[in-house]
Structures are given as structure tokens and as C-alpha cells.
Amino acid sequence: INSKLPTVGTTIFTVIGALANRHQAINLGQGFPDFSAPQALLERVDYHVRQGHNQYAPMGGVASLREAIAAKVEQSYGRAVSAEQEVTVTPGATEALYCAITACVRPGDEVIVFDPAYDSYEPAIELSGGRAVHLPLLPPDFAIDWQRVRDAINPRTRMIILNSPHNPTGATLSAADLDSLAELVRESDILLLSDEVYEHLVYDGKTHQSLLQHDELAARAFVVFSFGKTYHVTGWKTGYCIAPAPLTAELRKVHQYVTFVAVTPIQLALADFMTSCPEHHQQLAAFYQHKRDLFCEQMAPSRFQFSPTQGTFFQLMDYSEISDQDDLSMAEWLTRERGVAAIPVSVFYKEPTTVRYVRFCFAKEDETLTQAAELLCKI
Ligand code: PMP
Ligand code: GLN
């Protein structure tokens, strides 16, 4: 077949997940919790299903959820957004990202992405006939080099994709980063797509810097979030996009024909729970910081090298003292021979790279992390 995506294979999350299952490895690969969502949230789904709320929701999302989202955005980021015109509930952050890119990128347009980059951005750009321009995030802290961004911008630049807290490195953008970005795009019509699905997972007393807090940036941004990460329900595939009304209108033109709506009883349940239990997201950073610290403490005696991640539920580990095999081989070896699955980081780069990192997900029961660390410390 004359593929439109000739270089795309099966995602690494599927590949490593299958290998982990086959070898019954502890799965610290794909990012998902191995613990339950809050009971009160699960009960609300059951309630709404039984109440018969099982038909199509309004295209932009159920009203109570959009209102709860608008209230949370105002409280968290000080921005008043219209629940009707600026909030769209989507089947996962992935769909919001896809719709924003598809709605805005034309053949020949350039989109700046930073490598390592989450794997769903580039195929969406390519399917729109656009070209991803890859700029590197440089270790050890994986910061953006704003001078390189300035040099990369040209009249074809249509969009810049940001991701903070960043998957897979855990890096976070600072307020100064946002000011640098604002300065670069000020005189242009460049759009921004900000993937903030790990908004609540920021550690060591820092706070998440959302584009929504920055007037100039918010005026040209699609900002994308995921309930999966915040409420421990990645399998519910429910997220949302905040964007100014004219951008939201364009996003919805695509959304209405890609999926039309997200699942109704799930949206109703999330609305109830967000409103009745704001403590959940307020305590999430502390909840995950405990897991990060536990995992890092238990990995300290190992031969992996790392500094504790600043954000997300991912920890990168440098294995160069253990092996000089490439990171895909290393991840497969860890999964097959050592019983702990990890994600190789080179797959998040466009160009071949010799990075010697693997990514572990610590969204796991403390006991799971302890067992995994014991196995990894024996290497
Ligand atoms: N962006 C990033 C950076 C992610 O890590 C994920 C989670 N897998 C997503 C988007 C997609 O989120 P969702 O599962 O809500 O589609
Ligand atoms: N975002 C998740 C991760 O990085 C995976 C999502 C997926 O499997 N597509 O692990």
C-alpha cells in the first residue's frame, strides 16, 4: 500500500506492553497507574449509567463538566474562560492534540517540536501535509534553547508544540521560558499547542506554569489536559482543550467529525467528582512526590544514574555504566531478562540518537516500586 505514514510502526507502548505481558515483567513502561481511581468517582459512573445517561453528549461536552473545568481553570490559573465557547471535552488529550493540529496545519506549514517529543504529534502533522521541525532539548536539564527557536522561525512556521511537564524527561517550563516564547511569537501569527496533561505532577514545591496564566500566550494557544492522568483513569480516555473562542470553533469543526463527543456517563461522573472533591487534584503532587522519592531512594544503590524528575510520573535513568547496548535493546533486555519493563527514550527522537536512558513509570503501588527497585539494584 502507498502509506501516508511510511515511517510509522507500532507505538513503543504497545511493543513493550506486549513484551512485559509475555515475560510477566513488572510493567514500569507505558504510563498508567496500577492502583484504583477514587471509589467516589467510580460510584458516580455507576450512578449515571443506571440513571440512563447513556446517549450522545453535546458536541463540546456535557454542560456540568465544562462548567466544572472552567471553574478549575479560573481557580488554578486565574483565567476566566467561557464554558460554552472555550472549553471542549475530548476523548483523551490525544484527540484534542490531533484535532488542533489538523484544524490549523496546511500542506507546506512547519510545526516546531522539541525532541524528545511525545509520539503522537508528528503523525498528525504529517497527515495534514505539514512538516515537523525538530529542535533538541539538551541534557542534563532538557531546557529549550530559545535562540535556536528564534533561528528556526520563518514565514512557514504555523505552530509550536510545547509539553510541560514533559514526557519523557520530566522537565518543566519556567515563567521566564514563557516570557521568552511570548517575545518570539509577538509579531507573528504562530499558534501554540500546549500539552499540559501532567499539570498537577510538579515536585519540590514548584508550581506548574501554564500557558493559561500568560495573557499573550493564552490568546493564541490550544491548551490540552487529560483526566486520565489526574484521576488515575487512563483507560477512560477523556480530556479537554481550552482555547479562545475562534480557535475552539476551528478545533470543533474537526472534533465533530473525528469522534463527535466523549463518553457521556464518564463526563457526568467527572463533573460530580471535580466539584465535590477538589482535594483530589490539590493533593496529587504530594501523592506522586512520595512515589518518586520512594523509587529514587530505593534505586540509589543501583548502577543507574539519575536526578529526581521535576515533573510527570516518569523517571529517566542513565544506564551507561551498566551497558553500552542501545536503549531499545536495553529496554527489551530489562523486560525479558530482569523482569522490569521500561521505555527506551530514543523513540521520542526524530533523528537516530545514541542516548543511554530508559524511562520508568512510578505511577505504581509502593510495593510494586519496591519490587522493581530490588530487581534493578541486582544488575
Ligand atoms: N500527551 C502526553 C505528553 C502524554 O504523556 C499523554 C499520555 N499518554 C497524552 C498526551 C495522551 O493523553 P490521553 O490518554 O488523555 O489521550
Ligand atoms: N502517554 C503514555 C506514556 O507515555 C502512553 C499512551 C499510549 O500508550 N499511547 O506512557
Summarised one tens digit per residue, pLDDT across range 325-343 is 999 999 999 999 999 999 9
Q: Residue 64: CB partners within 8 Å, gap ≥ 6?
A: 268, 271, 272, 275
- The yes-or-no verdict on residue 156 having pLDDT over 90 is yes
Determine contact, residues 311/289, Cβ cutoff 8 Å.
no
Does 272 share its domain with 218? yes
Last residue of a domain, one of 211, 246, 277: 277
Residue after which a domain boundary falls, among 214, 243, 277? 277
pLDDT of the residue at 58: 98
Q: Is residue 48 part of a domain?
A: no
Tell me, yes or no, whether 101 and 184 share the same domain: yes
DSSP string for residues in 123-191:
HHHHHTT-EEEEEEPBTTTTB--HHHHHHH--TTEEEEEEESSPTTT-----HHHHHHHHHHHTTS--E
Residue 29: closest CA among 347, 352, 377, 367: 347
Sign of the Cα pseudo-torsion (173, 179, 184, 189, in order): positive
Compute the distance from residue 14 Cα to the ligand 2 centre, in Å: 9
**273 with 180, same domain?**
yes
Determine the pLDDT at residue 112: 98
For residue 145, report the distance from its CA to the centre of ligand 2, in Å.
26
Answer whether residue 39 is part of any domain.
no
Could you tell me if residue 47 is inside a domain? no
pLDDT, position 168? 97
Kindly report the protein residue whose alpha carbon is nearest to atom 2 of ligand 2: 31
Distance 226 CA to ligand 1 centre (A): 7
Q: pLDDT digit string (tens) for 246-301? A: 999 999 999 999 999 999 999 999 999 999 999 999 999 999 999 999 999 999 99
Q: Which residues line ligand 1 (CB under 6 A)?
A: 31, 92-94, 118, 163, 167, 195, 197, 226, 228, 234, 237, 239
CATH number of the domain that residue 287 is part of? 3.90.1150.10
Please say which residue of 256, 277, 298 terminates a domain: 277
pLDDT at 158: 98
- Average pLDDT for 151-177: 98
Answer yes or no: do 18 and 159 share one domain.
no
Tell me which residue range forms the domain holding 328.
12-30+283-377
Q: Residue 292's pLDDT is what?
A: 98
Q: Same domain, yes or no, for 67 and 127?
A: yes
pLDDT digits (tens, 9 = 90+) for 192-239: 999 999 999 999 999 999 999 999 999 999 999 999 999 999 999 999
Q: Which ligand is nearest to the CA of 164?
A: 1
41 C-alpha to ligand 2 centroid (Å): 23
End-to-end CA distance of the chain: 44
| Ligand 2 first shell, C-beta below 6 A | 11, 13, 30-31, 167
Say yes or no: 164 and 209 in one domain: yes
- Probe ligand 2: pick from 30, 166, 198, 238, max atoms within 8 Å of CB? 30
- Which ligand is nearest the CA of 11, by number? 2
CA-nearest residue for atom 3, ligand 2, is 31
Average predicted confidence (pLDDT) for the chain: 97
Residues 179 and 304 in one domain: no
Residue 319 domain-assigned (yes or no): yes
- pLDDT > 90? residue 139: no
Same domain membership, residue 207 and residue 105: yes
Same domain as 221, residue 85: yes
Give me the mean pLDDT over the 88-95 stretch: 98
Q: Is 5 a domain residue?
A: no
Which of ligand 2's atoms lies nearest the C-alpha of 118?
4
Q: How confident is the model at residue 10 (pLDDT cuts 50, 70, 90)?
A: very high
- Atom 12, ligand 1: residue with shortest CA distance: 93
Cell numbers linked to 140: 542534563
Residues 78 and 145 in one domain: yes
Instruction: Judge whether 93 lies within some domain.
Output: yes
- Look at the pTM and tell me if it is higher than 0.90: yes
